[in-house]
Amino acid sequence: MAITAKGHIEHLPSGSFRVHVYAGTDPVTGKARRLKETCPDEASAAAALGRLLAQAQSQQAPVRDATFGLVLDKYLEVTDLAESTLATHESYIRRVIRPVLGGTKVRKIGPDTLDALNAHLKRCSRICARLPKTEHYADGEHACDARCGPLRDHRTARPHACDERCAPHRCKPLKASSRVKVLSIISAALALAKRYKRVDSNVAEDVTMPNVGRREPDPPTPGQAARLLNLVWAQDEEFGLYLWAAFTTGARRGELLGLRENRFDFDSQEVRLSANYIVKRGKRIDKPPKDGEGRRVSLDPLTCELFRDAAQHRRAARAELGVEVPEDAYMFSPDPVGREPWNPDTMTHRYRRYADRVGIRSSLKELRHYSATQLLHAGVDLNTVAARLGHAEGSTTLKFYAQFVRLADQHAATVIPSQLDTLRRKQRLTELLGGREVPGGPEGLKELAAVLAPQTGIDQETALAWLAESAVAAGPGRDGD
């Protein structure tokens, strides 16, 4: 059955004319579709009425006066995002985007609006220009007392009693990477509005994105890593093993927390990282790692021994109590039988407490960088390092660790010249010998080395060592003569 559009023109007290068109109901939500447009005179209102009726009859029902808040709601409703990404988008929308643009008509948002937003966020991460100078302890009417005061940077978003940790507000810039995310969310929402024909163009495409500089890894030094492991292992063996795994495998925080006992293959000395454990908005989620289906990472014998002993110790302790540990128990768990892993934030806070005691200022994530930088320093090729880290492409690894790749490349540049120079000098020494018999005694070798070393451009000790090798190589032949 065809939908019949109905509409009328309303004369407003201001003298303008508002066009109303009923365009049926949304087949999914069941809500009425109503098109509105305000015009300055009756003639343009009549033209708008005809245009909107035609749009409604053709089942194109753009809400031209929709606010950006409604667009954001629709964006969050229909966009297909992972749970963690969705939580991040909702956070930026709640804290930054909606307070400024939520009530603005989407058609009135221009590139200058978004440039102004970016400029403010560059000065202050809070929209402090739009906030009252006084923060009240309760919404609605109340008698202000000591709990009401100047704008503050609160220590938590939860209801709490303010203390010295809730200091008066000081503007702090929002990082460039975060400003890029804010503008990207706005652009995605405007792209949706354009597709729904609520706007004619995506003005965010004309905005200059903030310049995000390359982040320089700041991992602990090997000495700091050793001190940290010694400190932690003496007080918390499970967390010590967690840090050891982070150092040696380069796995992400959630990948280690999602690690189960049956993911280890001690015979092949490898482990499968097949889950990334996160907690978002109170939901505990085992999701696939960023590289998709997961990856296998080779382990050294010592790491295999540490994990095997930890699993066996837990099973033996539980067996004494008559409790069975499941085969797929989480390796790192507050539960005695490993039914659920630690909260990721718990590991971050625990790391911070220990790291401060040994002078490490970088975050838990830098242990992943430690693994990458040490491998690259040791000359391990880029593709192998990328595979261990779970980067889909070597370009990702190169983006973050270019300076360490250059160091490995500089080392590689010396390998062939050094090898060729050594062989060239040995060949020159052989030519200078001219088929003469190499003296067998130590004194004879020293005398010959003293003569030939200056001619080959090497030191006397190296010449003596090479002559000794030649004497050993020629010895069996002389014995057979």
Give yes or no for a contact between 40 and 26, defined as CB atoms under 8 angstroms apart: no
Residue stretches of the chain with pLDDT short of 50 = 1-4, 477-481
Alpha-carbon distance of 271 to 289, in angstroms, equals 14
φ, ψ of residue 373 to 5 degrees: the values are: -65, -40
Give per-residue pLDDT as tens, 406-421: 666 666 666 677 777 7
For the stretch 255-284, pLDDT in tens is 999 999 999 999 999 999 988 898 887 788
**Beta-bridge partners for 297:** 271
Query: In a 10 Å sphere around its CB, with 0-12 CB exposed, 13-18 middle and 19+ buried, how is residue 20 labelled?
Result: middle
Asked whether the beta carbons of 39 and 17 are under 8 A apart, the reply is yes
Q: Is 164 exposed, middle or buried (0-12, 13-18, 19+ CB in 10 A)?
A: exposed
pLDDT at site 282: 79
**What is the DSSP pairing of strand 283-287 with strand 295-298?**
unpaired
- Helices assigned H by DSSP within 102-252: 111-123, 176-195, 222-235, 237-249
| 331 neighbors 310 (Cβ within 8 angstroms) | yes
Q: What secondary structure, in 3-state letters, does 38-76 show?
A: EECCHHHHHHHHHHHHHHHHCCCCCCCCCEHHHHHHHHH
Give alpha helix (H) positions in 321-393. 344-357, 366-377, 382-389
